[in-house]
Structure 1
Amino acid sequence: MARPTDYPFPQRVMHYLHLIGIITLVFTGFLIHHPPQGTSQSALRVVHVLVGIIVLVVVLVRIYYAFNGFYRDAHQFALRRDDWRNLPAVIRHYLTLKGELPPHSGKYNPLQKLSYLGVVVLVLAQSLTGMALYWPGTFSGLVASLEGLAGVRASHYALTWLLITFIMVHLYMVISETPDRLRLMLLGQTGGVGSEKEGAGTGSRQYPLS
């Protein structure tokens, strides 16, 4: 079952900051793209850039914390041979929501590991394209590689939709399979009822895409 030690306080704080920051970035980004009449574009851009910097800093701190924090957990994201072997079965499980996840050791299954590592890359790429839009002279090499500001803007927009897609899938899988895990991540406590399954014959825990 979900345990408070699965999500220590520092991880929960950073999760909150990511959640609030990314929602703010998406909201202000769409307002910048389609500004309502009378809206201050300069104010929106300042808020967007400041929040973007905060999100980037939090991601970098989280990476550092994963290797050096008191509750360091970088090893939980390492992809091992068994992960690659079980990945097709895990994908089939999430596509059909039938049967049980293949047993795995550690906190995350292989699809979780890939998705979380992918999100880190996504946020870093989003940050780079965002900074290139705001400071094109400083990031002239990136601007040139994407064939101008139009290419940078298109890349930034596409990355936003990828991030939104991940968040929607992330929330759906958590809420639909283990509401206790959502409460644990957000509140540091569960509803008192275990909602995860023990790994068959291995003693490992089964975790949803959360």
Structure 2
Amino acid sequence: MKLLVHPLPVRICHWTLAAAVTVLLLTGLYLNSPAETIQLKAGLVRKLHSFCGAILIANLTVQIYYYFLTAKWPEILFLRRDFANLPSLARYLLFITDGMPNYGRYNPGQKLLYSAWLLGILCAAATGAALFFPSDAIGFQRLLGGLNAIRLMHFSVALLFAASIPVHLYLVFTESPARLQSMFTGYVNSEPAAGLTEFTTGLPPAPPEDEPHR
């Protein structure tokens, strides 16, 4: 039985995000500390960095439009009800309990990470624009304490993404191979566990506020 887990728009946005963030991290690292063994034109690297930044912002815009258009934004954003499920997720990730509880399309750890990425991209977009057009962002510079403070914020967001990628991969690989496969094909090929069939029709059922997963 094939079950649609990740529709085509979700997969396209996911891999666009992955490619854009990878290039942004590499080019940003080079611009911050040029490697002596790799000689590249700083202007070209800066243009590539800016181009991928624009792609990242456009990709985020498409994602926001998609999730609100389909009313599926509660599936990916970390909500108040997800706090109750963090202990059960932690017990599973620390191998205290067997079997991942059914949280719906994404577990609370993934949702927390995606929500942090949303804020990170918005912060990187604002600080990146201020760094790219410094003469047009005088007021913004004064608000945040100058260009050095903005540069530090921009660098901090890059560190957030660099540090969170291994966390994302860990959360992915601790789930079933079928769920990992679905980010390439869109489907899981194995018989779905109880509660997964709602992926094709709408939102996954949320646990009651006073009944967290055990």
Q: Considering the TM-score relative to the shorter chain, is it more than 0.5?
A: yes
Q: TM-score, normalised by structure 2?
A: 0.78
2:82 equivalent in structure 1: 83
Higher relative contact order (CA 8 A, sep 6+): 2
2:95 equivalent in structure 1: 97
Alignment partners' CA distance in 2, 1:184 and 1:102 = 17
Shift of 1:75: 3.3
User: Considering only aligned residues, what root-mean-square deviation do their CA atoms show, in Å?
Assistant: 2.8
Alignment partners' CA distance in 2, 1:158 and 1:112 = 20
Unaligned runs of 5+ in 2: 196-203, 207-214
- Larger CA deviation: 157-166 vs 180-189: 180-189
1:47 equivalent in structure 2: 48
Unaligned runs of 5+ in 1: 206-210
Counterpart of 2:134 (choices 129, 133, 136) is: 136
Distance 1:105 1:184, change over 3 A: closer
Shift of 1:91: 3.2
1:6 equivalent in structure 2: 5
1:18 equivalent in structure 2: 17
Shift of 1:189: 4.3
Task: For residue 177 of structure 1, give the secondary structure of its aligned residue in structure 2.
Answer: coil
How many corresponding residue pairs? Answer: 196
Alignment partners' CA distance in 2, 1:84 and 1:129 = 30
Shift of 1:111: 2.8
Alignment partners' CA distance in 2, 1:126 and 1:97 = 35
Shift of 1:66: 0.5
Alpha-carbon contact 2:6-2:187 (below 8 Å) kept: no
Counterpart of 1:119 (choices 114, 117, 120) is: 117
1:208 equivalent in structure 2: none
Q: TM-score, normalised by structure 1?
A: 0.80
Would you say 1:166 and 2:167 are equivalent positions?
no
Alpha-carbon contact 2:128-2:154 (below 8 Å) kept: yes
Q: Tell me the amino acid that sits aligned with residue 16 of structure 2.
A: L
